[in-house]
A and B are shown apart, each in its own frame.
Chain A
Amino acid sequence: MAEENKTYTIPIGPVHVGLKEPITAWLQVDGERIVDVRIRPGAIHRGIEYMARERNPIQVIYLAERICGICSFAHIVSFVRVVEDATGIPVPPRAKYIRTILLELERIHSHILWAGVACYTLGYDSAFNLGMLLREKVMDVLEAMTGNRVNYGVGTIGGVRRDITPKVAKAINEMLDYYNREFSYFYNVVTEDPIVKARMRNVGVLSKENAIRYCAVGPTARASGLRMDLRWSSPYEAYEDLEVEPVVPQDYLGKVHGDVFDRFFVRVMEVYQSLDIVKKCMDGLPDGPIMHESKPAKLLSLLKEAEGVGQSSIEAPRGDDTHAIKLTKGEENITWWKVRAPTYANAMSWPIMFKDQEIADAPLIINSIDPCISCMERMLVVDEKGSSTMTTKEELIKLCRDKTRRLMHR
C-alpha cells in the first residue's frame, strides 16, 4: 500500500531576470495529479529597494524601469506618482494623457504577448505566431514614440520626457485601424477552437472567495469574477476623464469559471478596451507643457527640500502595482522605497490553482497569471529514494503538447 501512496516532489523554476519575482514551485505529485505545492520566490532578488537608498529620486526612475522589461512603464508611473504624492509636485494635463496612452500601449503589447505564449504552451503554434505578428505593430509604435521597444526612459517626476508629435500620432492612429481590422481574427481562431477550450476550461480554478482572501490582483482577480480595476475604482492620470469599466467574464459570458480560459478571455477583451482608451486619449489630448520642471538640477533641489511619505497603486498589465516611498528633507537620496509588483500578490494564489490538477497542465497554470514562461527553464524530478532525473523545458512543453494531441485524437 505504501508504494501506491508514494508522492513525488517536482521543483519547477527558479530563475528569470525579466521578473522581480522569479519563482520556484515544488509540486507534490501523486502519479499525474498535483497534491500540494510549495512556492519559493527570490532566486534573483536584486535588492533594488536597498540600492535605491543610495540614489536620488531621478536616478531611481531608471532603476524602477528595470524592475520588469514588459511592464517597465507601469513601474515608472507608479514610482513617479509616489514621489508626486509625497512632495506635491503637479503634473500637466498633457503629460497625464501621454502617460495613459503609453500605459495602454504597454498593456496591449503585454496581453497579446501573453495570449500568444499561452497558445504556444498548448502546442498551438500557428496562433502563437499570429499573436507575435500582431504584437509587432504596437512595438513599432512604442519604438517610434520613445526610441525603444522596452525600457522607454520616458517618465519623469512631474511629467513625461517625450511628446506625441504629429508623426507619432499618425502611427498610433494607423495602429488602431490595424488592430480593429486584424485582432478579432486572432481572438476568433483561438476561442472557437474546441481543443483550446478543452485545455483551458476548468483548469487552474481560483474561486471568487479565494481570490479575495489571497488578495489576487488584475486579470487574475477579474477572471474569478471580482469587479476590481484601479482604473475604475481609483482613477489616476487621465482615467478620471474616461469611462473604464472592469472586464469581468460574467458580463460577457453570463457565468464565471475562474479558470485559465476566463483569464485568457479577460486579457483578450482588455486589448479591445485598451484600443478604445488610446483612441479616446488621442481625441481628447490637451495642449500645453509636458513637464512641470524641465531642468533636472532644479527638480533635484526641489526634491531635496521635500519631506513626506507617499503611496501609489496603479493597474499594470498583470494587476495592481503598488509603490511606497519616504523622502527626508535635506537628504538627496531616498530614505526608503517599497515595490509590490503584481506577481508578488498573484503568486499567493498558485497553490490553490494547482490543487488536483495534472502535471501536464502545470505550465499552463503557471503561465495563466502571466509571470514569465522562462521561469520553467528546467525542472528536476526527485523521487523519495533519492534518485533524480532532469527534465528540460522542452520535455515539459512536450508533455503539455502531448495532452493536446491526445485530446485531438479522441
Chain B
Amino acid sequence: MYKAMLNFEARPAEELKSFLEEKLGNKIKNIEIRARTAGKEEKVAFHDLWISCSKDALIELVDLLSEFDFPIFHVISGDDVGDCILLNYHFSLFSSAGRGKRLGVVVSVLVPKNELSVPSLYDRIPGIEYSEREMHEMLGVFFESLPDRSLVFLPEDWDEKVHPWRRDESGLSSRHIRELS
C-alpha cells in the first residue's frame, strides 16, 4: 500500500525520463517530453511526459513513478486499434510542488485482444476505480484484482457482451443507435 503523501520537491522531466529508461530499458519506448507554453511571451509553463509501456511493465512503471511522488490519477482514455486495445493512463506528478512544477504523465499501454486483461492499479490508487470500470464496460478490458466490475455508466439492463467503443463485432450495431434526424 502506498503512503498517500505529496512530494513538495519537483524533479525535471529529463531526469525522470533518463531514470525510467535506465530502470526499464526496452520495456518502455517512444518517451516524449512535450513543453507546454503559456502567457503573452509563450514561455514554457510546464511539461508533459508521454510514455509507451508494455503491458507487463505497467505496475513496475507506476511503482517507479511513485518513488518521485504520489501519481495523482486523472483518467484512462482508450481506443480499439485493430488487434489491440490502446489504453492511455493520465497521471500528474508534483501537483503540489510549486508554480509550474506539475508534470503530466501519459502512459500508453497496448493490450492484445486475444488476452484482454491488465493488472489493476486499484490497491495503489483507489481513485482509479471508475475509470477501470468504464474501460471494462466500454472496451471490454479485464482489470485483474479490481474488486467491483459492475457497470458504471451503461444502463442496468445493458448486455455486457456489447462494448460501445469497440470497432469490431462486439461494438454497437445499428439496433443500438437511434438517429434523430
Contact = CB atoms under 8 A, between A and B. Distances in A.
15 contacts: A42-B153, A42-B154, A49-B165, A209-B5, A212-B6, A215-B72, A215-B128, A227-B96, A230-B102, A233-B99, A235-B39, A240-B40, A322-B75, A324-B106, A348-B127
Interface string A206-227: 0001101111100000000011
A349 to B, nearest CB: 8
Given A215-B125, A233-B98, 20 more contacts: A42-B153, A49-B165, A50-B165, A93-B39, A96-B40, A212-B5, A216-B127, A226-B96, A227-B96, A233-B94, A235-B38, A236-B38, A238-B39, A240-B40, A241-B40, A311-B48, A313-B74, A336-B79, A347-B130, A348-B130
A213 B98 contact: no
Closest 8 CB pairs of A and B: A215-B127, A240-B39, A338-B77, A340-B75, A42-B153, A233-B102, A240-B38, A234-B46
Interface string B62-96: 00000000101111111100000000101010111
Nearest to B50: A309
Contacts of B155: 42
Given A213-B4, A233-B100, A234-B100, A311 B39 contact: no
Contacts of A50: 164-165, 172
Contacts of B5: 209, 212
Interface in A33-79: 40-42, 45, 47, 49-50
Interface residues of B, number: 54
A335 B79 contact: yes
Contact of A348 (B45, B78, B88, B126): B126
B84 to A, nearest CB: 14
Interface string A292-317: 00000000000000000101010000
B129 interface: yes
Q: Is the interface of A mostly helix, strand, loop or mixed?
A: mixed
Contacts of A215: 72-74, 125, 127-128
A345 B127 contact: yes
Contacts of A237: 38
Given A47-B164, A213-B127, A311-B104, A236 B74 contact: no
A272 interface: no
